[in-house]
Structure 1
Amino acid sequence: MNTTEKTGKQAGGRSRDDAWAVMERFYAAEAAYVTAGGFGKADYGEVAAYLDPEVVLHQAPGLPFTGTGTWRGHDGMERFLAAFSEVWESMEFLEQEHWGDGDTVVVRNRVRFRARATGREVDTLILQLITVRDGRMLECRPFYWDPTAVAQAC
């Protein structure tokens, strides 16, 4: 995977990379969870370790795995990942760029998904606006470059 950093040090010496380090570990746990088969087959605890208890995920409606669009807390994230894992057989992060400022990070992911039902692959870009609190993801807003291609792959 190709990773590009657009970060540095803030005033006071705190590294802007702190939020990115959390997300990097989260992405690895998320990909492993999906590839292992998701709910009932994978260990959600590996993912939950990087999520704040009050985490909120704001997904755009209209995709096969987004449900109501807003997922709250560990229970909500586990339900989202169960739905996500039912749709996708695998996800591979091909490229990542990130920009950070304190507890906020913007990530551009190039991701390849393979659908469980169809076997189709889609290579797409996802931009995410993420807030981290105390070393855990607190809020995430993903923006899909081509949601139609993502939906059609399913």
Structure 2
Amino acid sequence: MSAASLAVVNRFGEALSGGNLDEARALLHDDLVVYEAGGLPYSGEYHGPQGFIDLLTTMYEKLEVTPGPVSRASLDDGTVVSRFRLRFTALASGRSAEMNLVELYKVSQEKIIELDVYYKDPGAVAAILAT
């Protein structure tokens, strides 16, 4: 299942980076829980595929997000780690912050059922969004 889980997360990442939200959403389990890093205006838990879309909508109303190269690996049966660098730019001010992130994905029944997001410095993102 490790290779299959990695393939699901890779397809999800490709769909998101290509702007294909319908394809990305199709890879999300109905029981999905997303844990967004603390200390952010959009911190918290998001449930189901619509919750994930709501999270993206909230983020993209305030931020432009530019990803760097991604490294992914299977940790164990059904768990995938994704490590990458993101540049966050506040749409209102143009201020930006760049940092490493780690995401832990749990895959079940060939769909993502859990996503736990870890920012290296969530305070830097909060700071660029502060007015």
Report the TM-score range of the alignment, normalised by the length of the smaller protein. Answer: 0.7 to 0.9
- Which of 76, 82, 89 is equivalent to 1:101? 76
Change (3 A) 1:153 1:46: farther
Change (3 A) 1:97 1:75: closer
- Which of 88, 91, 110 is equivalent to 2:85? 110
TM-score for both structures, normalised by structure 2 = 0.83
Q: Distance in 1 between matches of 2:93 and 2:15?
A: 24
Worse-matched range after superposition: 109-118 or 78-87: 109-118
Which residue number in structure 2 is paired with residue 29 of structure 1?
15
Q: Deviations over 1:23-50 (max 9, x none)?
A: 12222333344xxxxxxxxx63132022
Q: Deviations over 1:100-147 (max 9, x none)?
A: 212111222222233322223322111122101122110011111111
Work out whether residues 42 and 59 of structure 2, in 8 Å CA contact, stay in contact via their aligned partners in 1: yes
- Structure with greater proportional helix content: 2
Unaligned 5+ segments in structure 1 are 1-13, 34-42
Work out whether residues 35 and 45 of structure 2, in 8 Å CA contact, stay in contact via their aligned partners in 1: yes
- Write out aligned runs for 1:39-50 (5 A): 44-50=21-27
Identity across matched positions, percent = 31
Which residue number in structure 2 is paired with residue 38 of structure 1?
none
- Is 1:54 the equivalent of 2:31? yes
3-state DSSP class of the match of 1:111? strand
Change (3 A) 1:113 1:98: farther
- Is 1:77 the equivalent of 2:63? no
CA-based RMSD of the aligned residues comes to: 2.0
Work out whether residues 99 and 120 of structure 2, in 8 Å CA contact, stay in contact via their aligned partners in 1: yes
Which residue number in structure 2 is paired with residue 150 of structure 1?
125
Aligned length: 129
Unaligned 5+ segments in structure 2 are none
Change (3 A) 1:94 1:24: same
